[in-house]
Amino acid sequence: MPGMARCCNCCGNIARNEAGNHIKIFFPHVSFSGLILSISDLLNDPRITELILSYTAAFFASLIASYFSLKSFMSIMEKGNLVYFSMYCFIVGAVVLIFT
């Protein structure tokens, strides 16, 4: 999402709210592309029958989390308060570097 926002906002030199509209257009395509690339892994899993319920629950949890994260990011972007987003990026980046 953030990469798409920067792309739409900076490279296209368009207003924030218009960049948000572009994110709404691009986000499903990027998400479904990832899903398509993962289907072969899912179908080749030898324990698919055991894990189908877990995979389904994880899919819907991811769908709901993506919806709310996109909605909150759009709200932050419309207000122009990207300071909070930059703090989030710094904290998540530090956590990833510490635990990997």
Q: What is the pLDDT of residues 32-56, one digit of tens each?
A: 787 788 888 888 888 888 888 998 8
Residues in Cβ contact with 16 at an 8 Å cutoff, skipping those fewer than 6 apart: 9, 77, 78, 80
Rounded to an integer, what distance in angstroms lies between the CA atom of residue 73 and that of residue 53? 30
Residues of the domain holding 89 = 2-99
75-92 residue pLDDT tens: 877 777 677 778 888 999
Evaluate if residue 10 carries a pLDDT over 60: no
pLDDT in the model for residue 75: 80
Q: What is the pLDDT of residue 22?
A: 67
Distance CA 77, CA 22 (A): 13
- Average predicted confidence (pLDDT) for the chain: 77
Domain count, the chain: 1
Average pLDDT over every residue of 12-30: 65
Q: Looking at the predicted structure, is the pLDDT value of residue 6 above 60?
A: no
